[in-house]
Amino acid sequence: MKFEDKIKELEKIVNDLESGNIDLDKAIDKYSKAMKLISECDKELKSVEEKISKIVKENGDLEDFDIEDK
Amino acid sequence: MKTNRYITISTLTRYLKDKFTKDENLQNIYLKGEISNFKSHSSGHYYFSLKDDFSKINAIMFNSYNKKLNFTPKEGMKVLVCGRINIYEPTGNYQIYVEEMQEDGIGNLYIEFEKLKEKLSKEGYFDDSHKKQIPKFPKRIGIVSSDTGAAIKDIITTIKRRYPICEIILFPSLVQGDEAKYDIVKNIEKAKDYNIDTLIVGRGGGSIEDLWPFNEEIVAKAIYDCDIPIISAVGHEIDFTISDFVADLRAATPTAAAEIAVPNILDVSNYLAQINIRVNESMYQKINYNYLLLDSFKNSYIIKNPLFLYENKKIKLDNLNEKLNSIIKNNLNDVNNNLNNLIEKLNLLNPLNILDRGYSITYFNDKILSDALKVKENDEIKIVLKNGKITSKIEKVEL
């Protein structure tokens, strides 16, 4: 699931929960799902791995690209 | 060697400057040409070049003159100017000091631009309905631009600052000169194979000729045909190119493009935290509501006074009981009455009453005897009278 879709799903759940007209059982299901999605998103945002910029070479291969060299 | 034959550069320059100054033609000259490399300095002075197909001259228009203009000079604009030619000593370049300027029709490039813009607009290339949504949280941003220069640096630093979890793939491309359009098209098409979420296509500022590849029809078509959402970022705020109109979104500058392409990771974190709070809050309220509901049941009159449930039934039962009693009573009365009647009737029929009147009852073998044939001589019979019994023997039976 894409990050964007996760956020959309979360927004839907929040709206459902806030609307109030939802069974307690269903609410609990949705709540657990929201907690799972939040923790997944959080993980993605906190990913420590620094993304290195790449440059596409003439033959299509990718190579690391450091803007400071330029 | 006689060193006094040699003069300094400054002396030469001053000598030439003097020649320029004394030439009346140069001091009051009328020129026509196209504006290029136009720059409005913060001091208010305009710096630009004037050119035709074969030559070029640097030009400066001080703000004391240019503030009288009733139009803003633009790249590619054809103008008529009046001024004086002189040498700028520090560089030794001669240039025209423009004192008056007016538009000479519209520059060729400008006409070409307007023509293509109108054509593509008619063909639907700029339609909003064709524009794609720019992903809010891209994982991979592609950049079609020069791999050197300020633009690429601005884009990469801005993305890294705002959203470091995003990957950047650069498609190095020529961005000026005659070959640039083919290179840009090739790279936009190449980007399709690299799983790119958003593509930034552009370059930094420059003259109208420098930016021209982004006004080419094949570039416009490549942008239109590309399945990846494209943000165009060509030149500065004031520069509009055909690419800007075709792209799914136009950014004023390369830095702005990067700001549009990725969210600020802190904002996303905050938003997520907010969702977290809202989910918990609404869940808490949901549970609390159910508690209250439960409480309201527990405190309800019925639950607290369960006997109330029976009260009505009890009353009904009592009523029924009463009714039943009265019915039974009535019935009993009836029965009593009937009984009395019967007793009266029985009294009338009581055999003992008959005995009173002198009749008697004859028993044989403890059974009432009413048939003479049932007895014979010497059988013993009992006769009951009003006040006693007689036991006797039959002497004779007659019929």
- The partner residue sitting opposite A53, judged by closest CB among B156, B190, B278, is B156
Among all chains, which residue has been given the structure tokens 């007793």?
A: B343
Provide the total of helices (H) and of strands (E) in chain B, helices listed first. 14, 14
- The partner residue sitting opposite B169, judged by closest CB among A20, A22, A56, is A56
Nearest to A8 by CA among B280, B275, B286: B275
Evaluate whether residue B123 is within a structural domain: yes
- Chain A nearest-CA distance from B233, in A, is 19
Of A22-31, A51-60, B47-56, B341-350, which has the strongest mean pLDDT?
Answer: B47-56
Q: Looking at the structure, do residues B160 and B101 belong to the same domain, yes or no? A: no
Identify each DSSP E strand in chain B by its residue range.
29-40, 46-51, 56-61, 78-88, 93-103, 140-145, 167-172, 198-203, 230-234, 249-250, 361-364, 367-368, 380-385, 388-393
Evaluate whether residue B298 is within a structural domain: no
Evaluate whether residue B280 is within a structural domain: no
Q: Looking at the structure, do residues B122 and B101 belong to the same domain, yes or no? A: no
Contacts of B290 in chain A (CB under 8 A): 24
Q: Which of B56, B79, B106 is the last residue of a domain?
A: B106
Among B251-255, B274-278, B283-287, the least confident range = B283-287
Please give the model's pTM, rounded to 2 decimal places. 0.58
Contacts of A20 in chain B (CB under 8 A): 282, 285-286, 289
What pLDDT score was predicted for residue B106?
Answer: 55
H/E run at residue B353? helix B351-356
Domain residues for the domain of A45 are: 3-69
Residue B201 has pLDDT above 70, yes or no: yes
Q: Does A63 touch chain B (CB under 8 A)?
A: no
- Chain B nearest-CA distance from A18, in A, is 5
Q: How many domains does chain B have?
A: 3
Q: Looking at the structure, do residues B165 and B231 belong to the same domain, yes or no? A: yes
Evaluate whether residue B171 is within a structural domain: yes
Secondary structure letter of residue A51 according to DSSP: P
Q: How many domains does chain A have?
A: 1
Residues 6+ apart with CB under 8 A from B208: B36, B74, B75, B76, B109
Residue A70 has pLDDT above 70, yes or no: no
Q: Looking at the structure, do residues B153 and B191 belong to the same domain, yes or no? A: yes
pLDDT 10s digits, A22-41:
888 888 899 999 999 999 99
Domain residues for the domain of B387 are: 353-393
Averaged pLDDT for residues B107-118? 82
- The partner residue sitting opposite A18, judged by closest CB among B187, B268, B282, is B282
- Cross-chain residue pair A17–B282, CB shorter than 8 Å: yes
Q: Looking at the structure, do residues B44 and B175 belong to the same domain, yes or no? A: no
Evaluate whether residue B398 is within a structural domain: no
Q: Which of A45, A48, A64 to mutate to test the interface with B (most CBs of B within 10 A)?
A: A45
Evaluate whether residue B279 is within a structural domain: no
Beta strand B46-51 with B56-61: parallel, antiparallel or unpaired?
A: antiparallel
Evaluate whether residue B138 is within a structural domain: yes
Q: Looking at the structure, do residues B142 and B241 belong to the same domain, yes or no? A: yes
Q: Which of B245, B263, B281 is the last residue of a domain?
A: B263
Q: Looking at the structure, do residues B87 and B173 belong to the same domain, yes or no? A: no
Q: Looking at the structure, do residues B146 and B100 belong to the same domain, yes or no? A: no
